[in-house]
Amino acid sequence: MKLSEHTQSVLKNFATINQNLVIKKGKTLMTMSAMKNIIAKAEVEEEFTQDVPIYNLNEFLASLSLFDSPTLDFQDKYLTMTEGNRRIKYFYSDPSVVTSPKSMLKMPSKEVTFKMSGGELSDIKRAAAVIGVPDMVLEKNSNGTFLNALDKKNGAANVYSTDINTDGDGKFKFYFKVDNLKLMDGDWDVEISSKNISRFVSKNIEYCIALEPESTYTV
């Protein structure tokens, strides 16, 4: 088996969420952060014939990078990466020490939905870094609906703001940690529940991300 560029990109993204990964038998990859506040699922083109527990995903990816396009051969306790006369024998981890979600979170009823382009997400993450703030808030009040980068604990901190269109009634302030927005590049359909959970969906990949407890919603 050779891993496609898309699958390698998914693995690189998942490594930012958790260095552990169990590649489960089939065509679905899933990961969960150590704090259990981010769960991600991706459908890939390859079909894995067995479970592959990896303790250090960055090490695994670095091993792949030693080759241009290696062939992977999966055995019971290890896999081999082979290209030409070069190869790596890479042993699986003990499954008991690897974090692995059993299923994707079932999203509660959603109160708010909106579309977020990859550019909008990139802009707000970049703005948060530039002005030195840790939070993003989706806010609807009497003046409109806005996506802001700010520091929710410091009212005197700088604020970046952009208008955004949402579907749903009520007024709300939905807070996210910018560091939790570990999404791949792309455009997103976003659902938010007043139960303080959100869902970001793009082609063949989705993330469930917990909101911060300060989030509020009123009808």
User: pLDDT tens-digit profile of 144-156?
Assistant: 999 999 999 999 9
Give the model's confidence band at 199: pLDDT under 50 very low, under 70 low, under 90 confident, else very high.
very high
Residue by residue, DSSP assigns 39-105 as EEEEEEEEEESS-EEES-HHHHHHHHTTSSS-EEEE-SSEEEEEETTEEEEEEPPPGGGS---SSPP
pLDDT at 191 over 90: yes
**Portions of the chain given CATH number 3.70.10.10:** 5-97, 112-218
CATH of domain 5-97: 3.70.10.10
pLDDT tens readout for residues 34-81 = 999 999 999 999 999 999 999 999 999 999 999 999 999 999 999 999
Asked if pLDDT for residue 4 goes beyond 90, the answer is yes
Looking at residue 154, what is its pLDDT? Answer: 95
- CATH second-level architecture of 112-218? Box (3.70)
- pLDDT band at residue 100 under the 50/70/90 scheme: confident
